[in-house]
Structure 1
Amino acid sequence: MAPQTSFPAWLTAEVSRCGYDFYAYGEQSRFARDVGLADSIVSRLVRGTSTPDVRSCVPIAKVLGCRTVDVLAAAGLIPAEEIDAPPRPLTQHEHLVGLVGEDPGAQDAVIVLLRALGKWTS
């Protein structure tokens, strides 16, 4: 596995890809405004004296046009190998709750229907 790029280097490359130039006057402030963060926070992120919190990763991702998990991984908030890990399969109960919620009567009705169709195992 290649060594992970520091968050400031990753952020600088990504903002450059999106047309921001942190070396030009006012560009860091424009990025901060677009993301909805204080200039001082963006400055600390770029200098590497701070890392973003989970809440600020969402607007950063939106402005950069990338996935939130990419920002979280670049910031070291989640392991990089989690980015494209396949989700675990849902259990029957989780599927049932997704369909009808926590209502036991509705769940029972769906189970009866699925058993009649031969699609419920238990």
Structure 2
Amino acid sequence: MEHTNPSGNDAKATPAEFAIWLRDQLERRDYDLRPRGGGQSRFAEDSGLSSGTVSRMLNNQGAQDIRVLETLANALGLPLPEVLVAAGILSRAELAAVQNPAPRPEGPLTAEQAAAELGINNPDDVEHFVATTEFLKRRRAKNRKGRTAEN
């Protein structure tokens, strides 16, 4: 994947960076993007995107609709994740985390681990989350005992 963020950090790409990236991708594919070059209209027709959508993307207005980005990826013959990074939907770090998740501990998660994975960090919220999960575990155990006694 090409780097789309010129600052060199792992922030998400901006609409202006996406426009530069898209312009480069189209020019590499011989779409003439000069005024009256016809490349923008030709790409819109070839890709199935509207001329207005292509124009907005090339004029620093970005693209957030996943269907548009998927159509763009298909038209360019690029993997969707590359386009999502270029469009600033994902940073490289976020993409890497999705593609290579951290190994999970063996066995079931504790309530505290689940809270952390869900981003629940406030101690009061963690305590409430743990209490709720403990209540639900007791209720499930009670329901299982009731069904066993009936059989």
Instruction: Answer whether TM exceeds 0.5 for this pair.
Output: yes
Aligned residues: 92
Q: What is aligned with 2:54?
A: 42
Once the 2 structures are TM-superposed, how far is the Cα of residue 59 of structure 1 from its aligned partner?
1.5
Task: Give the one of 20, 23, 26 matched to 1:9.
Answer: 20
List runs of 5+ in structure 2 lacking aligned partners. 1-6, 106-151
Give the counterpart of 1:29 among 25, 41, 48. 41
Answer 1 or 2: higher relative contact order, Cα 8 Å, separation at least 6.
2
TM-score, normalised relative to structure 2: 0.52
Per the alignment, residue 69 of structure 2 pairs with 57
Instruction: Give me the CA root mean square deviation.
Output: 2.6
**Alignment gaps of 5+ in structure 1:** 92-122
TM-score w.r.t. structure 1 length? 0.62
Letter paired with 1:10: W
- Cα displacement (A) at 1:31: 0.6
Higher Cα Rg: structure 1 or 2? Answer: 2
Q: Quote the offset at 1:39 in angstroms.
A: 0.5
